[in-house]
A and B are shown apart, each in its own frame.
Chain A
Amino acid sequence: MNLSVQIGTLKLQNPVLVASGTFGYGAEYSELIDLNQLGAVVVKGIRLGPVRGNPTPRTVEVASGLINAIGLQGPGVDGFIKKYWPFLKLLKVPTIINIWGTTVEEYAEVARRFDALGGVGALELNVSCPNIKEGGAQFGTDVKLLGEVVAACRQSTRLPLITKLSPNVVSIAPYARAAEDAGSDALSIMNSYPAMAIDIKTRKPSLGNVTGGLTGPCIKPIAIKLVWEAAAAVKIPIIGMGGIQTATDAIEFLMAGATAVAVGTATFYEPRTAVQVIAGVREFMQSHGIEDVRELVGSVRAAK
């Protein structure tokens, strides 16, 4: 039975990853799960320099979901390499680095730095974080800017490039195509959806940043639809994510057209979710006589 899939030149032993920002830098969960069972580890978003992050409260629980406004707190490229890379580079599974910037030049520079580091599996360009005013989302909601960012990174690295798209657009197809045309090897769909909650006792927004991004099981149907639409628009592989809790959820993404999937918010309450999803996909394949996981990709029976 084959579970391995390919993202650009990167081969993954199975199609189940963890989502950026929900898995720290890998080491944190190493006491609770065997990281080498994953398809890949995806780290929290990194820009060139350190980032302090947003004021608290930074997350709020809502019905079947979570709203977060962390503000991309992080150590910057140098801090990451010094503190977290020595652990990650020894893993048997690839590390995918999620990167962002406030200008096209910064994205390209961060891409160049990680290209020079050696041993990185792929870069995931976060052009869709809803919680940072000056960066992130502006690139993900403007087709022209998106193309420029991806092209600039493409010129800076030969590492596989994965562009992580925003769900906050009228139609995702033009964004998916713009990333593909600019040289992206794959797409990640989706990032969190802009959202807000209010504490009625204090009449204050529940988040220090006022608004944030919604994730967890409540966004899964939105993500499935976006993956399905994007899959019809491009030839490059898609990593599907948004609310995955079980193998059933993951298989739904594969059928919608994703080549791989990532588990995010669910890891917070059940750290072994990704590992359980891998086992569940394998079981499903066995019981349905499926030899190759790629047979599932895009297998939804719908008139497109």
Chain B
Amino acid sequence: MLEQTVQIVSNEPDPTDLYFRLVMSAPRIAPLVQPGQFVHLRIQSIKDALLRRPFSIFQVSGDTVSILYKNVGKGTDALSRMRPAQDLSLIGPLGHGFTVPPPGGESPLLVAGGYGMAALYLLAQRSPQKGIVFVGGRRRVDILCQDEFQSLGWEVRATTEDGSHGGKGLVTQPLLAELRSGTAGRKLFACGPTPMLRAVGRIAEEFNLPAELSMDEHMCCGVGVCLTCVIPVKTGADWEYQRTCTEGPVFDSTRIAWDANS
């Protein structure tokens, strides 16, 4: 974990101004990154909003680290207006990421919703076994970086809720179809909205497959001190709140106590 002032290399819409790709020169952080980790970014130009914003690390290339972000509010909007050569303060890499399968180990099936694709890219790149990535979104624009996964030699199966790209429906439908054809040696890795993660957790249980889920919780400090970002995690017969910024964001799906809060 380091705090570094980094320079923006590029910050381009992908492909419309709903999503952006931000590439930063971060020579001290880049070599440390593990798949599924995130950076905590300070966007100085947000009026009267103080906190850093967390983003999954999308790609690492030489000295650069990039993120893929959706413009959803004041922080991401201010970020989308920043230009090359401007500075940002970055803390990272943070969190406990995905377990890269060992050579000859599990064959990975990735499940992504929207910008969840970003968190899975490094895992696909570093996994010795190639597999299938199931990606879902509301519309065509929400299906991100399909080409890049294909260039890595992965098969991409896309679904959109409105049917404007790939199959029509939810990302879990083609996943279920694939699992019905066989489960031996497979492992699920997922990142996306919480309802999708929960559905993937259920599917893993049903098919008796291991699954690692990257949980999306609001964060404040990002480094484990404030206890904002907790989720209920099983501890024997009981459960406790654990931090997604430190113990997570990636958790083994069997450890999550989904119903503890209700």
**Interface of A toward B, CB cutoff 8 Å:** 21-24, 28-29, 31-32, 44, 52-53, 55-59, 61, 63-66, 68, 70, 73, 216-217, 265-272
Q: In the complex, which of the residues B218, B224, B230, B261 contacts A28, with contact meaning CB atoms closer than 8 Å? A: B224
Query: In the assembled complex, which residues on chain A have CB atoms less than 8 Å from the CB atom of B91?
Result: 32, 271
A217 nearest in chain B by CB position: B50
Q: In the complex, which of the residues A53, A61, A66, A269 contacts B42, with contact meaning CB atoms closer than 8 Å? A: A269
Cα of A271 to Cα of B2 in the assembled complex, Å: 11
B241 interfacial by beta-carbon distance below 8 Å: yes
A272 touches B3 (CB 8 A): yes
B247 interfacial by beta-carbon distance below 8 Å: no
CB under 8 Å from chain A, chain B span 1-56: 1-3, 42, 48-52
B240 interfacial by beta-carbon distance below 8 Å: yes
B230 touches A59 (CB 8 A): no
Closest Cβ of chain B: how far from A202's Cβ, in Å? 14
Query: In the assembled complex, which residues on chain A have CB atoms less than 8 Å from the CB atom of B221?
Result: 22, 267-268
Query: In the assembled complex, which residues on chain A have CB atoms less than 8 Å from the CB atom of B220?
Result: 59, 66, 68, 268
Q: List 8 A-B contacts (CB under 8 A).
A: A28-B223, A53-B241, A56-B217, A68-B226, A265-B50, A267-B225, A268-B221, A269-B42
Chain B interfacial residues counted at CB < 8 A: 27
Closest Cβ of chain A: how far from B231's Cβ, in Å? 8
A271 touches B3 (CB 8 A): yes
B241 nearest in chain A by CB position: A53
Closest Cβ of chain A: how far from B85's Cβ, in Å? 22
B146 interfacial by beta-carbon distance below 8 Å: no
A64 touches B50 (CB 8 A): yes
B228 interfacial by beta-carbon distance below 8 Å: yes
B51 touches A66 (CB 8 A): yes
Query: In the assembled complex, which residues on chain B have CB atoms less than 8 Å from the CB atom of A44?
Result: 225, 227
A32 touches B223 (CB 8 A): yes
Cα of A52 to Cα of B223 in the assembled complex, Å: 19
Query: In the assembled complex, which residues on chain A have CB atoms less than 8 Å from the CB atom of B230?
Result: 53, 56, 58, 73
Cα of A53 to Cα of B231 in the assembled complex, Å: 11
Closest Cβ of chain B: how far from A99's Cβ, in Å? 17
Query: In the assembled complex, which residues on chain B have CB atoms less than 8 Å from the CB atom of A265?
Result: 50
| Sample of 4 more A-B contacts, CB < 8 Å, known A23-B225, A29-B225, A73-B241 | A53-B230, A56-B217, A268-B50, A270-B89
Query: In the assembled complex, which residues on chain B have CB atoms less than 8 Å from the CB atom of A56?
Result: 217-218, 228, 230-231, 261
B228 touches A269 (CB 8 A): no
Cα of A71 to Cα of B235 in the assembled complex, Å: 20
A30 nearest in chain B by CB position: B1
Query: In the assembled complex, which residues on chain B have CB atoms less than 8 Å from the CB atom of A29?
Result: 223, 225
Closest Cβ of chain B: how far from A200's Cβ, in Å? 14
B226 touches A269 (CB 8 A): no
Given A28-B224, A59-B226, A70-B226, A64-B48 contact (CB < 8 Å):
yes
Q: In the complex, which of the residues B49, B224, B240 contacts A24, with contact meaning CB atoms closer than 8 Å? A: B224
B74 nearest in chain A by CB position: A61
Closest Cβ of chain A: how far from B6's Cβ, in Å? 15
Query: In the assembled complex, which residues on chain A have CB atoms less than 8 Å from the CB atom of B228?
Result: 56-59, 68, 70
B231 nearest in chain A by CB position: A56
Closest Cβ of chain A: how far from B235's Cβ, in Å? 11
Closest Cβ of chain B: how far from A208's Cβ, in Å? 8
A268 touches B51 (CB 8 A): yes
Query: In the assembled complex, which residues on chain A have CB atoms less than 8 Å from the CB atom of B261?
Result: 55-56
Closest Cβ of chain B: how far from A98's Cβ, in Å? 13
